[in-house]
Amino acid sequence: MLSHLIIKFLNDHLINFALNLVLPTMIVFYFLGIVFRIMTYYTVKRHDWFAKEFEKRVQKFIEDETPGQSGSYSFYSLTKRMLEKTYYEIFEVRDRLSRRRNDRIITLSDRIFLIKQGMAWLVKDLLSQLKFLRWNDQNPKLINITKNTFQKNPCFNYIFGFFSVNRIHDILQILPSLFVIGGIFGTFLGIVKGLPALGKMDLSNMDISKQIMDQFLLEISFAMNSSIVGIFFSVSMTFINTLYSPDRVFVDVVDRFESSLDLLWYRSNNNLYPVDEGKFDEHRDPSEALAEQAITQVLKQNERSRDFDKIKSA
């Protein structure tokens, strides 16, 4: 008797309530999934943007170097100079393009994705680890340092500074399966809801029996739509997850950044930490910082040229 009452209560209230919520819930989660997938991808792409710009400047520096040219390079100082040059130049160009806008303090993308803060943290954390490396002729496995630095970045690993990118990514990966389960669940709910009506059929009254059967088929048809929608959401979400995969971008970023650091390591001949060298300051005016770097670089090039001429004359 008790079980009959429970089944009747579920059929009269909870099943109807759940059936009415299955399809709207899937629709809401589908569009939320698309939004968060794109935002997750864009957040990780900020790593890629900085890594590409850093790679360009390292390649240009290596191309401008003359084979056999003398000169002492500290790996820490050289990396710091390349990182600062990358950081200041990319934001100097952006600030120059947006000087006529009202908001010159912080852009909308910086507010949402913490781009500038994330890159500043990246530079600081990387330099803090590189200065303790012991110099040798072997590669010190810079890929581990690079991967660790990117993975720990609190700005690039959170959306809006609150939602964890890794957790959202894990949820989005299982979302296509949940859509299929939700569609099947909606279909079963529709069948369970319609089956009790078949017990009221009176075969002696064909008109009423036909009405009951038509209503049952209508409810089953509506319930089957949830499975169709669930399959469509699952397929399209799987395609979106593949197209905007942050894992692939992250692997490319780590490889690109580590390759650039390797080039600087092989060009250097020590890893001395200059005590008199100033710390990285992300709040400096980019134009001022770049001008100071240019003057310092010219002075160092002139000094190396004089040393090279002395060696040739000797």
Q: What is the pLDDT of residues 77-89, one digit of tens each?
A: 889 888 888 888 8
Interval 242-281: pLDDT, tens: 999 888 888 898 999 999 999 898 888 888 887 766 676 6
User: Which pLDDT belongs to residue 24?
Assistant: 85
SS3 10: helix
User: Which pLDDT belongs to residue 12?
Assistant: 57
Mean pLDDT of 93-118: 59
> Residue 158's beta-bridge partner residues?
164
Q: Is residue 86 part of a domain?
A: yes
Instruction: Answer with the residue of higher pLDDT: 304 or 130.
Output: 130
Region of poorest pLDDT, from 108-122, 147-161, 226-240: 108-122
With CA atoms as reference, report the closest residue to 115 among 44, 167, 37.
44
Mean pLDDT of 117-139: 82
Res. 314: pLDDT tops 90: no
- Category of 136 on φ-ψ map: left (φ > 0), alpha (ψ -120 to 50) or beta: beta
User: Which pLDDT belongs to residue 17?
Assistant: 61
Q: Is residue 314 part of a domain?
A: no
| Average pLDDT of the residues of the chain | 76
Instruction: Answer with the residue of higher pLDDT: 78 or 20.
Output: 78
User: Which pLDDT belongs to residue 290?
Assistant: 46
Region of poorest pLDDT, from 16-25, 119-128, 138-147, 300-309: 300-309
Instruction: Answer with the residue of higher pLDDT: 43 or 17.
Output: 43
Q: How far is CA 8 from CA 13, 19, 67, 219, 242, in A?
A: 8, 16, 86, 18, 44
Res. 143: pLDDT tops 70: yes
Domain count across the chain? 1
Q: Is residue 178 part of a domain?
A: yes
Mean pLDDT of 126-152: 82
- Quote the domain boundaries for residue 45: 7-298
Instruction: Answer with the residue of higher pLDDT: 111 or 52.
Output: 52
Share of the chain above pLDDT 70, in %: 67
Res. 104: pLDDT tops 50: no
Amino acid, res. 68: G
Non-local CB neighbours of 78 within 8 Å, separated by 6+ positions: 264, 267, 268
- Decide the pairing of beta strands 158-159 and 163-164: antiparallel
Handedness of CA 296, 272, 116, 252 (dihedral sign): positive
pTM of the model: 0.72
φ, ψ at 163 (rounded to 5°): -85, 125
Q: Is residue 304 part of a domain?
A: no
Instruction: Answer with the residue of higher pLDDT: 283 or 222.
Output: 222
Q: Is residue 1 part of a domain?
A: no
Res. 18: pLDDT tops 70: no
User: Which pLDDT belongs to residue 217?
Assistant: 74
Handedness of CA 69, 71, 76, 82 (dihedral sign): negative
Q: Is residue 294 part of a domain?
A: yes
Rounded-to-integer distance, Cα 147 and Cα 244, Å: 20
Rounded-to-integer distance, Cα 210 and Cα 212, Å: 5
Interval 173-226: pLDDT, tens: 999 999 999 888 888 877 777 666 666 666 666 676 777 777 777 777 777 888
User: Which pLDDT belongs to residue 231?
Assistant: 92
Share of the chain above pLDDT 90, in %: 13
φ, ψ at 138 (rounded to 5°): -95, 155
Mean pLDDT of 227-232: 89
User: What confidence category does residue 294 fall into, taking pLDDT thresholds of 50, 70 and 90?
Assistant: very low
Q: Is residue 312 part of a domain?
A: no
Res. 291: pLDDT tops 80: no
Mean pLDDT of 289-302: 47
Q: Is residue 303 part of a domain?
A: no
